[in-house]
Amino acid sequence: MAAIEFRIPKGAVLFTDGDGVGYEFREDLGEAHHGLSLFLMRRRSPEGHPRGKVLVKAVGSPRGGPQEGLRFDKARAKLEEQVRLAKYLQHPGIVRVHGMHKTESAWYVITDHPSGQDLDYLMGLATEVDRWFSPFFTLYVGAAVASALEHAHKAKDAQGNPLGIVHRTIDLGHVFVDWEGRVQVSDFGLAFSNLPKRVVSTYRRPQGDAYFAAPEVLLGGRGDARSDIFALGLVMLEMSTAIASQESNVRAEEPG
């Protein structure tokens, strides 16, 4: 399902929050999920000084018939669900959600921009310079992601009831590492949980990259915390073996 279309000039301030901080559009990053658009934006102080980048998920107003309206309602519901879930995901290894801002033309959810690069980018960079990740680095990243997932999997609501949160899209594109060694998991927007009034999935297929999906998810079953851990194991396997496999392929193709 394609994102609901926005046509925004670069540099436009889409909204201003209660503190007078403006949110300036920089780049359309395409569809996030459920028809939500993902923007790179820059915060500006009331005096106009830059305050750093953020990511913003957005959904505009429906322009079509009843089908478009249903799609719009589901996208809005997913935004609200992500904000409600975020208050239970306060962990340094999870990208922070700041909240929702509503205007007449669109709703926006604002999150931190990860300070580093995702593993997909870093693996491509390592390949270009003919290097590979050490086992210690792979274990370090795996332990950091496992800590963030443990926090999510054990989260409880205000009454002490388990929320049953499952990320469901652990892959190379949702794990970020910066040059200081900080590891973060991004985007619980497709997470499963026991939150009341959550948006229920209407189809049985992997929510993220099928390459990293657990067998029960590939077979149409519902994943749980173990599915996230399985996906993390595949991420670590990819970090450990992908570049070595590429080198083996190159050697096999060399003549003689």
CATH numbers and ranges of domains, the chain:
13-112 (3.30.200.20), 117-249 (1.10.510.10)
> SS3 letters for 169-186?
CCCHHHEEECCCCCEEEC
DSSP 3-state assignment of 237?
Answer: helix
Rounded Cα gap, residues 119 and 159, in angstroms:
37
Mention every residue, 6+ apart, whose C-beta is less than 8 A from residue 21.
43, 44, 45, 46, 51
CA 54/CA 222 separation, integer angstroms = 32
C-alpha 94/C-alpha 89 separation (Å) is 7
First to last CA, the chain: 49
Q: Tokens 């478009």 belong to which residue?
A: 68
Q: What is the pLDDT of residue 248?
A: 47
- Residues 75, 82: contact at Cβ < 8 Å? no
C-alpha to C-alpha distance for 24 and 113, rounded to whole angstroms: 14
pLDDT at 250: 46
Each residue's pLDDT tens digit in the chain (256 positions)? 444 456 788 889 999 998 999 999 999 998 877 678 899 999 999 998 989 999 999 987 766 666 666 777 788 888 899 999 999 999 999 999 999 999 888 899 999 999 899 999 999 988 888 888 999 999 999 999 999 999 999 999 989 999 999 999 999 999 999 999 999 999 998 899 998 877 766 556 667 778 888 888 888 888 899 999 999 999 999 999 865 444 444 444 555 5
